Amino acid sequence: MSQIISLSSLQTIRPEVREQMKQTLADHQGCGTSGGSGKSSCGSSAGPADMAPEIWEKVKNHPCYSEEAHHHYARMHVAVAPACNIQCNYCNRKYDCANESRPGVVSEKLTPEQAARKVLAVASTIPQMTVLGIAGPGDSLANPAKTFETFERISKVAPDIKLCLSTNGLALPELVPMIKNYNVDHVTITINMVDPEVGEQIYPWIFYKNKRWKGRDAAKILTERQLEGLELLTSAGILAKINSVMIPGINDQHLIEVNKAVKSRGAFLHNIMPLISEAEHGTYFGLNGQRGPTAQELKALQDACEGDMNMMRHCRQCRADAVGLLGEDRSAEFTLEKLMEKTEIEYDLEARKAYQELVEAERQDKVAAREKEMAEMASVESDTKILIAVATKGGGRINEHFGHAKEFQIYEVSTAGAKFVGHRRVDLYCQGGYGEEEGLDTIIRAINDCTAVFVAKIGGCPKNDLQAAGIDPVDAYAFEYIEQSALAYFKDYVARVESGELVHTARGDAQIRQGAFAA
């Protein structure tokens, strides 16, 4: 069994933290170590057998910490934290943060009391909503009073909901004991660099100790605070996820260093996200023509960092008031106005539990189906790897019509298994109606690196165009489990290549759509 972090790498860490970290790291060992092609996200395979029980217990229903869970469980964010203490070049505060929320739309800011009400309403409507996060629209810990009052209120009315927060880390070190007190056991820190020379190109300024710091000084303080905060989280037994924005030409290669630095300090999961950058977002990067990465550039960097750490590839870079499964946003159903119309909201803990037991049974069934298919894979010999795009509404099944898909989930399939490696959003292009040529071209560009696309249903016209582009449209597995179907397709694909019926060709690159959900 591989060890996530070598003990020698702990030598750079303060001694008092080191001992506690060793214990936490020991707990992390073995998480997600299935398959020969390296780790997939923690919990993406069977689950409990893959990791220490106490870690599994923390992540199994958390859509952001477990790739497997994100097909079944939903999260919500409440926008109670508008203030921020740093400026990032990919963020324009006039329009919220472009990388964390939909640009161009200012979120409805909530008071902690309104937020608690919203959580009750959502939890009653969406029983698979298991996680409440505070992610802004500014920085959760730059608004500590609002953030912790919200947690306090929610933990009283909805004790089964997991609490988490996301922060830039500047204010984190002193607040770790508070975070622990409120039983927040998931914290995300956005770390884009560990070298101030890189950092000064990303952060124009920070506000720290009653002073605005600029340039390299600002970046130096920020990186020190972030890493110290991470060490303290690890020693407190709080799971830490690291978000990094991949900015080609600025920190793309450097993120390998960031990955090593956070891994050695006990981070549980690393999430490298593509820069979202368009002139109309009004960000420094957008206005200066800084581009985001292509799909294959992003995947190559994630693969390079994967070695022995869990990489998150299912992040949807959702807005600070998002509601629902990661691929959807139901926030429009729960506006402040609608919440205030309701007088009394009933919180039915038992109904939620019953629903979640059904979800668990489905998950077990899905895993069994996959294991059965994998057992048959043992007889297949091939070096081939293909990508498959999947139209899904969630639940781990192929259950979405091609024309209705707002995103495609991407699986890499080989004899080692079917692994979730990302997703491609296509929603904006569908607004003009389905079957339109331009919309179809943009979908093809988004999944151009895939050999096949799995759908529940597809019309004749797009079918022909996909075939012409070299992508196999497949509706034979409609409503079946994704992984099981992908493995079955792969076996058939290899057999057809061997028989000479078709020739395996390497696919090209694909485009990452700019901008966030327009759901």
In our burial notation (b when 16+ CB lie closer than 10 A, e otherwise), range 38-75 reads bbbbbbbbbbeebbbeebbebbbbbbbbbbbbbbbbbb
CB closer to another protein out of 8 and 210: 210
Contact footprint for another protein (CB under 8 A): 82-85, 87, 93-94, 106, 109, 137-138, 142-143, 145, 207, 210-212
> Distance (Å, rounded) from C-alpha 298 to C-alpha 312?
12
CB closer to another protein out of 168 and 259: 168
CB closer to another protein out of 85 and 414: 85
**Neighbour-count burial of 92, counting CB atoms closer than 10 A to its CB (0-12 exposed, 13-18 middle, 19+ buried):** buried
The pairing of strands 269-274 and 239-246 is parallel
CA 252 → CA 35, 115, 299, 300, 315, distances in Å?
27, 37, 12, 11, 18
CB of 98 to another protein, least distance (A): 13
- Cis before residue 293, ω within 30 degrees of 0? no
CB of 155 to another protein, least distance (A): 24
Name residue, tokens 């073995």: 30
CB of 205 to another protein, least distance (A): 9
CB closer to another protein out of 108 and 303: 108
Element (H, E) at 412: strand 407-414
CB closer to another protein out of 150 and 451: 150
> Distance (Å, rounded) from C-alpha 252 to C-alpha 247?
6
> Distance (Å, rounded) from C-alpha 413 to C-alpha 293?
23
Give me the residues paired with residue 129 across strands.
74
CB closer to another protein out of 39 and 109: 109
CB of 169 to another protein, least distance (A): 17
SS3 342: coil
CB of 441 to another protein, least distance (A): 37
Amino acid at 296: Q
CB closer to another protein out of 143 and 243: 143
> Distance (Å, rounded) from C-alpha 137 to C-alpha 91?
11
CB of 232 to another protein, least distance (A): 23
CB closer to another protein out of 91 and 387: 91
Question: DSSP secondary structure string, 224-261?
Answer: HHHHHHHHHHHHTT-EEEEEEEE-TTTTTTTHHHHHHH
Instruction: Please list, in sequence order, all residues whose beta carbon lies within 8 angstroms of the beta carbon of residue 147, skipping any fewer than 6 positions away.
Output: 80, 81, 134, 140, 141, 165
CB of 196 to another protein, least distance (A): 20
CB of 82 to another protein, least distance (A): 4
CB closer to another protein out of 106 and 428: 106
Tokens coding 141: 């810990």
CB closer to another protein out of 99 and 414: 99
CB of 469 to another protein, least distance (A): 44
CB of 104 to another protein, least distance (A): 13
Q: What is the dihedral of CA 177, 179, 185, 186, to 10 degrees?
A: -120
Cα 152 to chain centroid distance, Å, stands at 26
SS3 375: helix
CB of 108 to another protein, least distance (A): 12
> Distance (Å, rounded) from C-alpha 326 to C-alpha 252?
25
CB closer to another protein out of 169 and 394: 169
